[in-house]
Structure 1
Amino acid sequence: MTMFTVKFWKDAAERLIKTAAQAALGVVVTAPVADLAGIDWKATLSLILVPAVASLLTSVISSGKGNPESASLVQPATGRDL
């Protein structure tokens, strides 16, 4: 099972961080500019953690399904695919 490799966890962590950053950007950008200092960071953290955890769970569920060396569902390209 691929989820016991360092490469898998690096891939999963990269996806989790990217997803969390995208969620944070979505929350901060949609806050009123005048109220940027008044953002409820506790609620914002909750809104960031849910998709980040979903990303991690997706990586775990994907383990061993696509590319056996990563957390991806996508098969690695072969010379015939090009």
Structure 2
Amino acid sequence: MNKDYLLKWAKAAGVRAVKTMAQTAVAAIGTTMAMSEVNWIFVGSTAAVAGILSILTSVAGLPELAE
């Protein structure tokens, strides 16, 4: 694996992770609002775990980097 590929992978995986975290945060906010008050610690921790899982899933491969 060369440095150029690693940088492309890191950028693509990072973009996916940020998108996943944002989607998860929106879902968590919607869920907690239904319970009357947003629990920001819950939202943040849920989004962080989703981001970590996204990065780990990206180790298996990213279709946008298929050569």
Local SS of the residue matching 1:11: helix
Aligned structure 1 segments of 4 or more residues deviating by more than 6 angstroms: none
**Which residue identity lines up with residue 6 of structure 1 in the other structure?**
L
TM-score calculated relative to the size of structure 2? 0.74
Query: 1:1-82 counterparts in 2 under 5 A?
Result: 1=1, 5-32=6-33, 35=36, 38-60=37-59, 62-63=60-61, 72-73=62-63, 76=66
TM-score calculated relative to the size of structure 1? 0.63
**How much is the aligned-residue C-alpha RMSD, in angstroms?**
2.7
**Which residue identity lines up with residue 24 of structure 2 in the other structure?**
A
Higher helix fraction (1 or 2): 2
CA deviation vs aligned residue, 1:27-66 (integer Å, no higher than 9, x gap): 112223683xx32211211111111100001112x25xxx
Larger radius of gyration: 1
How far, CA to CA, are the matches of 2:55 and 2:65 in structure 1? 19
Is the 2:13–2:58 Cα contact (8 Å) retained in structure 1?
yes
Gaps of 5+ in 1: 64-71, 78-82
Gaps of 5+ in 2: none
